């Protein structure tokens, strides 16, 4: 069974790779960020609680996240495996996930996207996103159409609140403090596969495919 975690700071390309590889391997891409954004858009209780934290670049509580994941893993499509994108983000989440999957052996592997911090900040602040279908654009490398209507679905292309520079800097601080320790955690469990995420997208993708095919 293919059960993968894509680990890395925001803006390292893990979401982009996860969406393509999820299709290739017919696995669900499970992004806690997407689940939370949907809750915010729908105005649910969870969404109301999460919005402020997300806008400031902080982390939603481990208990809330674990509840979401537990529920998501019960869905039929997750029985054949998954790609986690943006989860786990703390050691506690990783430990809880291990318990949920009965031990760290429950995970096939962790792809770690390595990108230099200044490059990340530049990538994130130039990112634009379709508010409707979630497609990402980049003002430098892949600009949205002049009328800011998504080329796929026609939705409005916007800058995510948490992609503004001050929030991005805070997200990096939070990443370094809370999430970066997971690199050692999975290394110690012999699960870590590092890729240089600053290479062209297709090269990064091929390296991940070669790795995922081992399982
Ligand atoms: P992302 O799209 O993965 O960058 O997530 C956007 C925001 O959602 C993050 O900045 C956090 O506030 C929140 N979030 C997403 N996933 C998690 C998680 N696993 N643990 C805590 N907060 C999360």
pLDDT tens string 143-201: 999 999 999 999 999 998 888 998 899 999 999 999 999 999 999 999 999 999 999 99
Instruction: Tell me if 131 CB under 6 Å of ligand 1.
Output: no
Place of tokens 């990112």: 127
Whole-number Å distance, alpha carbon 119 to ligand 1 midpoint, is 20
Whole-number Å distance, alpha carbon 35 to ligand 1 midpoint, is 9
The predicted pLDDT at position 161 comes to 85
Residue 24 a catalytic site member: no
- List the domains of the chain with CATH numbers: 2-115+167-212 (3.40.50.300)
The single residue of 128, 160, 191, 205 carrying the catalytic annotation is 160
Write the CB contacts of 146 (distance below 8 Å, at least 6 apart in sequence): none
Q: What is the percent of the chain where pLDDT is above 90?
A: 86
The predicted pLDDT at position 104 comes to 52
Q: Which two tokens stand for residue 156?
A: 């409005």
Instruction: Tell me if 134 CB under 6 Å of ligand 1.
Output: no
Tell which residue, 29, 26, 3, has the closest CA to residue 14: 29
Residue 151 a catalytic site member: no
DSSP structure class, residue 13: S
Q: What is the percent of the chain where pLDDT is above 70?
A: 99
Atom of ligand 1 nearest to the CA of 31: 3
pLDDT tens string 14-47: 999 999 999 999 999 999 999 999 999 999 999 9
The predicted pLDDT at position 96 comes to 95
Which of the listed residues 89, 159, 176 should we mutate to test ligand 1's pocket, taking the one with most ligand atoms within 8 A of CB?
89
Q: Which pTM value belongs to this model?
A: 0.89
Q: For residue 3, is pLDDT > 70?
A: yes
pLDDT tens string 108-151: 999 999 999 999 999 899 999 999 998 889 999 899 999 999 99
Whole-number Å distance, alpha carbon 86 to ligand 1 midpoint, is 6
Residue 160 a catalytic site member: yes
Q: In whole angstroms, give the CA distance from residue 69 to residue 144.
A: 33
Which of the listed residues 38, 50, 59 should we mutate to test ligand 1's pocket, taking the one with most ligand atoms within 8 A of CB?
59
Q: In whole angstroms, give the CA distance from residue 149 to residue 86.
A: 27
Q: In whole angstroms, give the CA distance from residue 69 to residue 149.
A: 33
Atom of ligand 1 nearest to the CA of 90: 20
Place of tokens 């990443």: 175
Whole-number Å distance, alpha carbon 48 to ligand 1 midpoint, is 14
pLDDT tens string 75-112: 999 999 999 999 999 999 999 999 999 865 699 999 99
**Residue pair 193/109 in contact by the 8 Å Cβ criterion:** yes
Q: For residue 74, is pLDDT > 60?
A: yes
Q: φ, ψ for residue 62 (rounded to 5)?
A: -55, -40
């Amino acid at each position: 069974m293919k059960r993968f975690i894509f680990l890395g700071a925001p803006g390292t390309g893990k979401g982009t790779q996860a969406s393509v590889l999820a299709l290739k391997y017919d696995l669900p891409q499970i992004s806690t960020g997407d689940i939370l954004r949907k809750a915010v858009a729908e105005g649910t209780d969870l969404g109301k609680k999460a919005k402020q934290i997300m806008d400031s670049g902080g982390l939603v509580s481990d208990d809330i996240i674990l509840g979401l994941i537990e529920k998501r893993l019960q869905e039929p499509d997750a029985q054949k495996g998954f790609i986690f994108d943006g989860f786990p983000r703390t050691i506690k989440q990783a430990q809880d996930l291990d318990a949920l999957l009965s031990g760290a052996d429950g995970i096939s592997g962790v792809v770690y996207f390595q990108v230099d911090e200044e490059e990340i900040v530049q990538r994130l602040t130039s990112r634009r996103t379709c508010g409707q279908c979630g497609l990402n654009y980049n003002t430098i490398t892949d600009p949205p159409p002049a009328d800011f209507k998504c080329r796929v679905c026609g939705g409005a292309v916007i800058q995510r609140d948490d992609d503004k520079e001050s929030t991005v800097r805070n997200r990096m601080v939070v990443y370094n403090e809370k999430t970066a320790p997971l690199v050692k955690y999975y290394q110690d469990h012999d699960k870590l596969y590092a890729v240089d995420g600053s290479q062209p997208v297709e090269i990064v993708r091929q390296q991940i495919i070669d790795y995922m095919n081992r399982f």
